[in-house]
């Protein structure tokens, strides 16, 4: 019995001590005591050295205690100095401020920064603090002011490194989501450009923004994307690729079903077609949905040049896609099964080159392709000063040495080089990578069945592409299903004055341009008569 009462007494003491010491995990509201609030902030942040706490006293008798809290490095120090500290320390309201109206007076009269919010929970407080806002705490008030002072060092706007053009805007997105949204606002000056923001990631609390044109974008697609974004439950989001893998329709495919870009003009053009853009803080790459297959062969420069030039370049890209996909497989099929399909002189020359090669054509092609992929990946990962030199020298030296050592034939080196150059001609890096992977599958089919295997693989590829969806939109649209009115901007790009309709499956408002936009230059006879009349008037 004594031990029982002793245990009960110790349990009661522990409960009293727990009640006296606030638990940060269970307490949701901010305390009224300034010292308790500051102790909680220090405890929760581990008394980090970059968390700056500046305590001040205001009022006629300097009896009102306040504190300014911010994280150094992610705030604009000049804004804090000029619009917070100087405004509060001037103390122009010394005679009117008191304990009851201090909080309202600071937020309404003293602070000269535009965005000021009142928060009363610890979750909102730490989220604002670690997002770059400055907190103002007043003793005796269970609320805090969150002042927008986001800043710090950021990368300047530079030219795009992955989607370069000869003609067109040169600026590219940065890692700041606010800067990226502002760049789109400068292009599309329309109130129908709507923005929805949310935070994803339990630990990182990453800012994610969905942007679309109200009245042009499909409401069902907007609703579907919004639901998929809200369903994401992950501890961190460090790049837009995290979001893409969570919300895309099909994951068991090498083809990208969402488009990514770092060019503002591409995002603006897709928004005006009815697509939705997804911005993620901390990355310059913006996601665009829904995406279709032919979209990955289009470049921003196609819309800045004449339609005949754009059409020829697009057709060339499709040809390069096919060459990059089946060129090594075709070489394996010809040299292994179908020698009769090649002119006699050419097949004799190829046979003479391969006479000393100890490997079959498939092993030869596989060896060269793997070697080139290794060189390409090494050139990407090495520093810029030596990356290009290593990739070029490595390819030349290894290729020449392999030919002299009779490991591969010269024709195989030509085929692999042509395949690599064709792969670089594809504008989208995601589509180029998918082709690089599928190339090995086509080589295996060619080594087993020859041209019959290549045709079978092409049929399976077409069926697979037609089965894909991007947020419910057929991936091969408007080619399959075939929509004649939307085929004006696919492989063939017609003049701008003929592109009067937006994609029907993507946008609800399909009308884009008015009628009678065809240019009608004045006739030569009318110009001559006008010049004669003007000359007569001048003589008169």
Query: Could you read off the pLDDT of 208-224 as tens digits, one per residue?
Result: 999 999 999 999 999 99
Query: In the block, which residue shows the tokens 């530079």?
Result: 158
Distance CA 161, CA 469 (A): 29
DSSP H or E segment with residue 194: strand 193-200
Give the mean pLDDT of 133-161.
90
Distance CA 22, CA 28 (A): 10
Pairing of strands 64-71, 51-58: antiparallel
Q: Tell me: pLDDT of 395 over 90.
A: no
Among 18-32, 90-104, 180-194, the least confident range: 18-32
pLDDT band of 389, cuts 50, 70, 90: low
Among 107-111, 290-294, 447-451, 532-536, the least confident range: 532-536
Q: Please give the mean pLDDT across all residues of the chain.
A: 86
At 87-139, the pLDDT tens digits run: 888 766 667 788 888 888 888 888 888 889 999 999 999 999 999 999 999 99
Structure token digits, residue 423? 């792969």
DSSP H or E segment with residue 67: strand 64-71
pLDDT band of 27, cuts 50, 70, 90: very low
Q: Tell me: pLDDT of 33 over 60.
A: yes
User: How distant, in Å, are the alpha carbons of 44, 362, 441, 496 from that of 454?
Assistant: 62, 14, 9, 38
Q: Tell me: pLDDT of 6 over 60.
A: no
* Better-predicted residue by pLDDT, 363 or 99: 363
Buried b (16+ CB within 10 A) or exposed e, 6-35: eeeeeeeeeeeeeeeebeeeeeeebbebbe
Share of the chain above pLDDT 70, in %: 87
Give the mean pLDDT of 419-434.
92
Specify the pTM: 0.85
ω into 481 cis (within 30 of 0): yes
Give the mean pLDDT of 45-50.
92
Question: Which alpha helices (H) appear in 382-469, and where do they start and end?
Answer: 384-404, 410-424, 429-449, 451-467
Distance CA 83, CA 149 (A): 10
Structure token digits, residue 237? 């989001």
Distance CA 441, CA 385 (A): 35
Distance CA 496, CA 481 (A): 24
At 291-307, the pLDDT tens digits run: 999 999 999 999 999 99
pLDDT band of 523, cuts 50, 70, 90: low
Distance CA 184, CA 266 (A): 10
Q: Tell me: pLDDT of 467 over 50.
A: yes
Distance CA 131, CA 113 (A): 17
Among 44-58, 318-332, 435-449, 522-536, the least confident range: 522-536
Buried b (16+ CB within 10 A) or exposed e, 151-179: eeeeeebeebeebebeebbeebbbebbee
Q: Tell me: pLDDT of 11 over 50.
A: no
């Amino acid at each position: 019995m004594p031990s029982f009462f002793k245990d009960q007494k110790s349990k009661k003491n522990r409960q009293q001590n727990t009640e006296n010491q606030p638990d940060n995990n269970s307490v949701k509201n901010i305390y009224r005591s300034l010292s308790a609030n500051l102790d909680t902030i220090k405890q929760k942040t581990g008394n980090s050295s970059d968390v700056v706490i500046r305590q001040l006293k205001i009022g006629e008798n300097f009896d009102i205690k306040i504190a300014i809290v911010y994280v150094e490095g992610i705030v604009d120090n000049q804004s804090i100095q000029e619009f917070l500290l100087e405004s509060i320390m001037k103390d122009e309201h010394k005679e009117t401020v008191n304990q009851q109206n201090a909080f309202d007076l600071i937020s309404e009269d003293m602070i000269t920064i535009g965005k000021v919010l009142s928060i009363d929970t610890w979750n909102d407080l730490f989220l604002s603090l670690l997002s770059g806002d400055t907190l103002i705490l007043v003793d005796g008030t269970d609320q805090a002011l969150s002042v927008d002072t986001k800043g710090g060092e950021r990368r300047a706007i530079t030219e795009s490194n992955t989607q370069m053009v000869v003609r067109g805007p040169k600026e590219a997105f940065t890692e700041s989501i606010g800067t990226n949204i502002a760049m789109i606002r400068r292009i599309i000056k329309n109130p129908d450009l709507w923005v929805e923001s949310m935070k994803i990631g339990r630990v990182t609390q990453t800012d994610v923004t969905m942007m679309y044109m109200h009245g042009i974008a499909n409401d069902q697609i907007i609703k579907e994307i919004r639901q998929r974004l809200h369903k994401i439950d992950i501890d961190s989001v460090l790049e837009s690729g995290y979001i893409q893998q969570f919300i895309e329709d099909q994951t068991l495919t090498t083809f990208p079903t969402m488009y990514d870009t770092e060019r503002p003009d591409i995002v603006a053009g897709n928004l005006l077609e009815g697509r939705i853009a997804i911005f993620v803080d901390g990355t310059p790459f913006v996601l665009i949905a829904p995406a279709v297959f032919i979209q990955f062969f289009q470049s921003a420069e196609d819309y800045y040049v004449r339609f005949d030039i754009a059409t020829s370049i697009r057709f060339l890209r499709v040809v390069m896609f096919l060459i990059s996909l089946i060129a090594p497989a075709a070489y394996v099929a010809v040299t292994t099964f179908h020698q009769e399909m090649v002119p006699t002189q050419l097949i004799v020359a190829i046979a003479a080159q391969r006479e000393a090669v100890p490997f079959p054509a498939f092993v030869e092609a596989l060896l060269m392709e793997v070697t080139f992929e290794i060189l390409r990946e090494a050139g990407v990962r090495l520093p810029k000063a030596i990356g290009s030199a290593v990739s070029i020298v490595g390819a030349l030296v290894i290729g020449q040495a392999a030919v002299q050592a009779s490991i591969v034939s010269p024709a195989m080196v030509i085929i692999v080089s042509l395949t690599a150059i064709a792969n670089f001609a594809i504008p989208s890096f995601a589509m180029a990578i998918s082709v690089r992977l599928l190339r090995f599958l086509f080589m295996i089919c060619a080594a087993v069945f020859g041209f019959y295997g290549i045709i079978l693989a092409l049929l399976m590829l077409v069926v697979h592409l037609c089965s894909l969806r991007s947020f419910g939109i057929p991936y091969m649209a408007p080619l399959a299903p075939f929509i004649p009115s939307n085929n004006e901007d696919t492989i063939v790009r017609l003049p701008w004055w003929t592109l009067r309709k937006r994609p029907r499956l993507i946008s609800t408002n399909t009308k884009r341009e008015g009628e009678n936009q065809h240019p009608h230059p004045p006739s030569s006879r009318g110009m001559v008569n006008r010049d004669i009349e003007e000359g007569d008037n001048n003589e008169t």
